[in-house]
Amino acid sequence: MKTDDDKKPVAAASFRVVGYLREYNVVDGRAIQFDFSKITHLNIAFINPDANGAFSTLSGLKELVTAAHAKNVKVLASIGGGLAPEYYTKLIADKSSRAKLVGSIASLTTQYNLDGIDVDLEGHFVDANYEAFVVELQALLKPKGKLLTTAIATVYATQYTDKALAQFNFINIMSYDKTGPWKPEKPGQHSPYSMAVDDLDYWGGARGIAKEKLSLGLPFYGYGFGNGVPEDMAFADIIKKYPGAETKDEVTVTAGGTIYYNGLPTIKSKTTLALQKAGGVMVWQLLQDDAGTNSLLNTIDAEVKAAKK
């Protein structure tokens, strides 16, 4: 049941800023050079097992965790991904292989001093065995004081059971990719403000999840449709190639194609929305941001700090 408390904004002091960095940037050293001062949680994407449920050693992860912890940032390993290995379906289907996988994942948190696990299984991976998988994973992580979070897409909403969702400490809503290169016949904005509103209304309203547990996903990239534009492009590259693009949400080139993304005003508006209707924001992904005065992360940080005053 909703109460008057559900209408109140989440305290800015506890507001999450969750950012993703790619696993290969841990290996090449770019991740450890990142300024962690404007995020609260860092997810490393994606750390996946082999077909037997075993994980290989990830060079540089221990050092990254130490650096992040020095800035009071929690670090989670994100498993799965939009292109998750197909064998996940087999690993979580069989009871014995699922138990082995869950044990291996839990061991990761000890091996690298991680603060938790982020489950990013999407589409057909969210099947009849998904609930048992996250229930068993939480059963091992909770006694260790570790977090269990997830990245979800509203397009797959009916596949997530209430019991499965209840296992997560917080939920990152992937409020983007409404369209993209896989839908060339549907050009347009892939992450409109209206999508953010609808997503938060669905998960916080229809599904009854406390707003404190929701993080609104924000894209630091754009998609191109038509002639003369790349299929995808980092925000930093967009504003470098097209001066003035930082204040807009789309750029149309002379060849006729258009790039759609979220500029500074939209990211600011979405952060304000999240401060009212969620417990945080989530960013995919941090290294796509501009490092200068047009930084999207700086815009988020400024809005959160203003809310604390």
Confidence band of 150 (pLDDT split at 50, 70, 90): very high
Q: Determine the average pLDDT of the residues in 116-129.
A: 97
Residues 40 and 280: beta-carbon distance below 8 Å: yes
Q: What is the pLDDT of residue 1?
A: 39
**What 3-state class would DSSP assign to 42?**
strand
Q: What is the pLDDT of residue 93?
A: 97
Confidence band of 308 (pLDDT split at 50, 70, 90): confident
The string of pLDDT tens digits covering residues 276-292 is: 999 999 999 999 999 98
pLDDT above 80 for 10:
no
CA 124 – CA 63 distance, rounded (Å):
35
CA 218 – CA 278 distance, rounded (Å):
13
CA 300 – CA 241 distance, rounded (Å):
23
The closest of 166, 212, 180, 173 to 195, measured between CA atoms, is 173
Residue 47's Cα: distance from chain center in Å?
Answer: 14
The closest of 186, 266, 191, 254 to 225, measured between CA atoms, is 186
Q: What is the pLDDT of residue 290?
A: 97
Domains observed in the chain? 4-220+263-308 (3.20.20.80)
254 CB neighbour count, 10 Å cutoff: 7
The string of pLDDT tens digits covering residues 171-225 is: 999 999 999 999 999 999 999 999 999 999 999 999 999 999 999 999 999 999 9
CA 113 – CA 95 distance, rounded (Å):
27
pLDDT above 70 for 9:
no
Q: Determine the average pLDDT of the residues in 84-91.
A: 97
What token pair was written down for 177?
């990719």
Q: Where are the alpha helices (DSSP H) in the chain?
A: 23-27, 61-69, 88-93, 95-111, 130-141, 162-165, 193-201, 235-241, 264-277, 296-308
pLDDT above 80 for 2:
no
Share of the chain above pLDDT 70, in %: 96
- Amino acid residing at 171: I
266 CB neighbour count, 10 Å cutoff: 22
The closest of 147, 126, 129, 130 to 138, measured between CA atoms, is 147
Bond into 46 cis (ω within 30)? yes
